[in-house]
Structures are given as C-alpha cells and as structure tokens.
Structure 1
Amino acid sequence: MAFSLVTSYSVPQRLIHWLMAALIIFNLLFADAMEELMEMLEEGQSPSPDVMASANIHAYVGIAVLCLAVVRLLLRFTHGAPDAPAEEPPLGKLAAKVAHGTFYALFFVMPISGALAYYGGIETAGGLHGGPIKLLMWLLIIAHIGAVLVHQFVWKTPVAQRMIKG
C-alpha cells in the first residue's frame, strides 16, 4: 500500500471546501423562489421581479458551485489529499471513498441538472435536481458531519483538524 505524503489539505483546498459548503447549504435552504418561479411559468403567470431576482441568485450560486468544483478537482489532483487515519476501520475507509466520490459527482450533477432545467427548460432535469439529487446531497451532508463527529469523539483522530487548521 502506498502512503500519501500529504498530511493535511492546502489552504486553497480548505477555503474552497468551506465556501462550497456555504453556497451549497444556501441553495439547499433557499430554493423556494426557484420552485415558485417554475410553478408560475408552468401556469402561464408572470413572475414578480423579486421572484426572478431570487431565482437568478439561486442559479448564480449554482454556477459558482460548478466553477469551484472544477477548481477543487484540479487542486485535489495537483495537491493531493491526506490518507485516511490508520485507526479508521476498513469499512469506514471504503464508506469515506464512496461518499467523497459521490460528493464530487454531485458538485457537477446538481448544478448542471439545475441549469438544464432553468436555462434549457428540461423538466426531467428539474425533477431530478429538486428531488432525488437534492435528497442525496442532504443525506451525504448529514453523513459527512456524522463521520467527522465519530472521528473526533469516538476514534479520536485529527480528521477535522485537516480541514480546519491544516
């Protein structure tokens, strides 16, 4: 088994992680205007300027997440990532790899499906975006936070420190 020389995430990796986390949570919590806009358009109603502005903010935040995901992926390839702690059980290591891979996929799939719905009018993409993809993102976020807490308080590993202090 090859061991990584990387012991922590770089400052740019940490900044992008937390910025993306904030933007994703923002869009997950404040998607109502986008849903309202789509319903109004389906019913042939004219949306108010406030609804349009809020929907556009949601779209722009999604585009920002997509752009940051590209940078984040490039940084991961160029800077690497620390190995899982030795104390982590094999099943935990596998779960972490699957979860992180799924996160990276969602960083691309979620904004692309939203853009296809909003800018391309593809209803299926909108249904996936606001339904199963959104649910999967919430479930992964909850599992991710739970895993950090298990590392911190059960296994007593410094996983959280790698994304906070370096």
Structure 2
Amino acid sequence: MARREGYAAPQILMHWVIVLLVIVQLVVAESMTETVDALEEGGQVAASVATGASIHYWVGIAILALMLVRLGMRLTFGAPAHAPGSPPAQNLAANVVHGALYLVLLAAPISGLVAYYDLADVGDVHALVRPILLILVLLHIAGALFNQFVRKDGTLMRMFRPAP
C-alpha cells in the first residue's frame, strides 16, 4: 500500500459521506428492530416505523457499496504515513481502530442483509454491531482530537484538506 502526504479528495469525500450515512443508520436502527419484531409476532407496523426500516435497509446497502469503493480507493491511493514522532503504540492503536472500522462497516451491512433475508440466524450478531461501532467511532474521534489539540501534528486536517 502506497504512502502519501495526505488523503486524495475522493477519499475525503467518501469518508464524510459514509459518516453521514452511519449517523442515519444509528438514528433509524430501532425502526428495523421494531418492524422485524412486529412481523414475527404477526402485528402491525406503523407507517413511520416502516419508513425508518426501509431507510435502514437502503442506507445499509449504500454503506456496503461505498465501503467497497472506499476499500478500493485505499488500495489504489494508499494512506498517509503516521505523523513523524508518533509513538509506536499510538500508531498501532490507530491501525487497529482503522482496520476494525473497515471490518465493522463491511460486516454490519452484510450481516444485516443475511439476517433480513433469513439466510442464517445472525440477527443477534448484527445487533452487536451498534455498540461496537459506537466504541470504535469514539476511539477514532478521540484519537483525531488528541492528535489535533494535544500533539498538534495536523493529523486531523488531512481529512479536511486533500493532499496535493
């Protein structure tokens, strides 16, 4: 994988689009749970809940597609090296969190689709994604803010300004 000074503009755009879609997913996730529970019990689903479930389904598919594109971009464009002087343990933590984010953002929509189409009993596994994703996102944000405001190494700005 190549190393760059910063991220390419398409990588930055893809990052922020996926961030927005993940926020939507977190907001409407409960609608899918309510819909599945109601259908399993033979009950009715309110129109607003059904709409939320539909949004959850389609946004999940969009995240899966965009994550595959993003992975391709990562392999094509590479990623910037860690800031000079970063402690090796911090670099390792950053690599682990980034890798786990990619894994969860690919596994979540796949497990959701498998559960939705009742291909396997992975609904409980899919339900674990939300807390894991929230933890990873918080670690990612904490790391970015730590680098920006404590280490002052400019790491955060790479996700706002494309590399030349």
Q: TM-score, with normalisation over the residues of structure 2?
A: 0.93
Query: Which residues of 2 match residues 45-60 of structure 1 at below 5 A?
Result: 45-60=43-58
Per the TM alignment, residue 121 of structure 1 is displaced from its structure 2 partner at its CA by 5.9
Query: Does structure 1 retain, via aligned residues, the 8 Å contact 2:26–2:130?
Result: yes
Structure 1: stretches of 5+ with no match in the other structure: none
Residues in 1 aligned to 2:145 and 2:16: alpha-carbon distance in whole angstroms:
17
Per the TM alignment, residue 127 of structure 1 is displaced from its structure 2 partner at its CA by 1.1
Per the TM alignment, residue 3 of structure 1 is displaced from its structure 2 partner at its CA by 8.3
Q: Percent identity?
A: 38
Residues in 1 aligned to 2:90 and 2:113: alpha-carbon distance in whole angstroms:
34
**Selected match of 1:10 from 3, 8, 11:** 8
| Residues 21-75 of structure 1 deviation map (CA, whole Å, 9 limit, x = unaligned) | 1101210122121111011012111323332222111010000000000100000
**Selected match of 2:147 from 136, 143, 151:** 151
Structure number with greater CO (CA < 8 Å, separation at least 6) is 2
Instruction: Say yes or no: does 1:165 pair with 2:161.
Output: yes
Amino acid at match of 1:76: R
Amino acid at match of 1:163: M
Instruction: Say yes or no: does 1:126 pair with 2:126.
Output: no
Residues in 1 aligned to 2:43 and 2:58: alpha-carbon distance in whole angstroms:
23
Residues in 1 aligned to 2:87 and 2:47: alpha-carbon distance in whole angstroms:
53
Q: 1:16 to 1:86 in 2, by over 3 A?
A: same
Query: Does structure 2 retain, via aligned residues, the 8 Å contact 1:87–1:155?
Result: no
Q: TM-score, with normalisation over the residues of structure 1?
A: 0.92
Q: Which residue of 2 aligns with 1:69?
A: 67
Query: Does structure 2 retain, via aligned residues, the 8 Å contact 1:84–1:93?
Result: yes
Q: Which residue of 1 aligns with 2:82?
A: 84
| Partner SS state of residue 113, structure 2 | helix
Query: Does structure 1 retain, via aligned residues, the 8 Å contact 2:111–2:122?
Result: yes
Residues in 2 aligned to 1:68 and 1:3: alpha-carbon distance in whole angstroms:
21
Query: Does structure 2 retain, via aligned residues, the 8 Å contact 1:3–1:83?
Result: no
Name the count of aligned residue pairs: 162
Q: Which residue of 2 aligns with 1:36?
A: 34
